[in-house]
């Protein structure tokens, strides 16, 4: 899903940098206020882990491959603003050192994978847990959040490519192709996210109960789950 | 937390090894569509390690694992330092 340089025109690149910049400002501000001593090593470990996990490409339909994004797990364990910072660092290293993604398209890539791919899963996870107040609801929210988050991130990439004058295909073609293929990737991301959250819930619930770096209207959803 | 960090970093190394030896072939949806429409990248930046390989050591899997491991640790350190700086500004 990493869009390289040359695939988006400067108008789209600037727009995506601007949109992402707003989220970066809030992410830095919220992290300054809420980041605590326990979260920092967890954030560093998970960020390193998902950088490494993105090197594992598994086959999906039509001879294409996919890899785990990690945004949903980062969002659920650390909060979406911390998840955005983590994804920004991963994408920056990938673009600068490995040529995975681009410099002009960096804002768009962070928007797709670091904003949409992080905030949407967290929002769905938050709503599912708040409404159901149960472990089952929480895990269902984790799965659906990861699935929709991944697919929406791909649909946004398709929209940007389709709207760009430098890339020779229509919005319809780009969005359909990206959205359909990434549905399969989303299912994989959903299964792995649900598995990891389930394992953490059973073995280290304290990690899921750490304060989240999230918008104030989305407090830690884990607190809604009834004890026992 | 220290134990968790060690487990996390070992897991990361396992991902790097699996991703280098068995699941390195990448053919993402975007690449397929771009190829279909003859679209080509126009890089404005020359990365140091294109395709996650060290120039001069292309195809050397052990060097690729080394590179992946070094950058995994580097990212861990960057976030650790960044987190400490952000926390200090509280």
Q: What is the pLDDT of residues A58-81, one digit of tens each?
A: 777 767 777 888 999 999 999 999
Q: Do B15 and A99 touch (CB under 8 A)?
A: no
- Report pTM: 0.92
Task: Using CA coordinates, name the residue in chain A closest to B64.
Answer: A55
pLDDT at position B29:
75
Residues in chain A: 228
Dihedral, CA of residue A72, residue A77, residue A78 and residue A83, to nearest 10: -10
Among B13, B25, B41, B75, most A C-beta atoms within 10 A, so best to mutate, is B75
Non-local (6+) Cβ contacts of A107 within 8 A are A13, A14, A16, A17, A18, A19, A20, A21
User: How close does chain B come to A157, measured CA to CA in Å?
Assistant: 9
**Best CA proximity match to B66, nearest among B26, B13, B9, B6:** B13
Q: Do B28 and A64 touch (CB under 8 A)?
A: yes
User: C-alpha angle A145/B34/B54, rounded to 5°?
Assistant: 85
Task: Using CA coordinates, name the residue in chain A closest to B53.
Answer: A98
3-state SS string for A119-178:
HHHHHHHHHHHHHHCCHHHHHHHHHHHHHHHHHHHHHHHHHHHHHCCCCCCCHHHHHHHH
Q: Do B89 and A32 touch (CB under 8 A)?
A: yes
A57: which DSSP letter? Answer: -
Report chain B residues whose CB lies below 8 A from the CB of A53. Answer: 12, 15, 19
The token pair at A176 is: 């359909």
| pLDDT digit string (tens) for chain A, length 228 residues | 889 898 899 999 999 999 999 999 999 999 999 888 889 999 999 999 999 998 887 777 767 777 888 999 999 999 999 999 999 999 999 999 998 888 999 999 999 999 999 999 999 999 999 999 898 999 999 999 999 999 999 999 989 988 888 877 778 888 888 888 888 889 989 999 999 999 989 988 888 888 899 998 888 888 888 655
User: Is the Cβ–Cβ distance between B28 and A100 less than 8 Å?
Assistant: no
Longest pairwise C-alpha distance within chain A: 56
Instruction: Give SS3 for A65.
Output: strand
Q: Do B89 and A62 touch (CB under 8 A)?
A: no
Please classify residue A39 by burial: count the beta carbons closer than 10 Å to its beta carbon, then call 0-12 exposed, 13-18 middle and 19+ buried. Answer: buried
User: How close does chain A come to B66, measured CA to CA in Å?
Assistant: 12
Report chain B residues whose CB lies below 8 A from the CB of A207. Answer: 4
């Amino acid at each position: 899903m990493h869009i390289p340089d040359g695939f988006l025109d400067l108008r789209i690149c600037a727009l995506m940098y601007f949109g992402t910049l707003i989220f970066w400002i809030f992410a830095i501000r919220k992290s300054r206020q809420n980041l605590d001593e326990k979260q920092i090593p967890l954030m560093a470990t998970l960020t390193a882990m998902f950088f490494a996990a993105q090197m594992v490409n598994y086959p999906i339909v039509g001879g294409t491959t996919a890899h785990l994004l990690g945004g949903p797990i980062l969002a659920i364990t650390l909060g979406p603003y911390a998840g955005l910072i983590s994804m920004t660092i991963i994408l920056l290293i990938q673009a600068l050192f490995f040529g995975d993604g681009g410099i002009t398209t960096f804002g768009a890539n962070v928007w797709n994978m670091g904003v949409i791919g992080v905030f949407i899963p967290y929002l769905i996870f938050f709503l599912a847990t708040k409404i159901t107040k149960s472990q089952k609801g929480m895990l269902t929210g984790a799965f659906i959040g990861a699935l929709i988050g991944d697919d929406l991130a791909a649909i946004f990439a398709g929209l940007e490519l389709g709207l760009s004058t430098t890339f020779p295909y229509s919005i319809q073609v780009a969005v359909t192709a990206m959205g359909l293929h990434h549905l399969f990737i989303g299912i994989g991301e959903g299964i792995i996210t649900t598995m990891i959250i389930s394992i953490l819930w059973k073995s280290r619930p304290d990690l899921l109960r750490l304060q989240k770096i999230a918008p104030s209207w989305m407090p830690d959803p884990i607190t809604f789950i009834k004890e026992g | 937390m220290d134990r968790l960090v060690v487990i996390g970093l070992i897991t990361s190394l396992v991902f790097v090894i699996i991703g280098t030896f068995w699941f390195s072939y990448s053919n993402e949806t975007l690449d397929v569509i771009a190829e279909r429409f003859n679209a080509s990248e126009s890089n404005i930046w020359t990365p140091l390690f294109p395709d996650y390989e060290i120039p001069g050591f292309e195809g050397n899997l052990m060097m690729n694992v080394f590179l992946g491991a070094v950058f995994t640790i580097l990212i861990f350190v960057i976030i650790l330092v960044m987190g400490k700086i952000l926390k200090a500004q509280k």
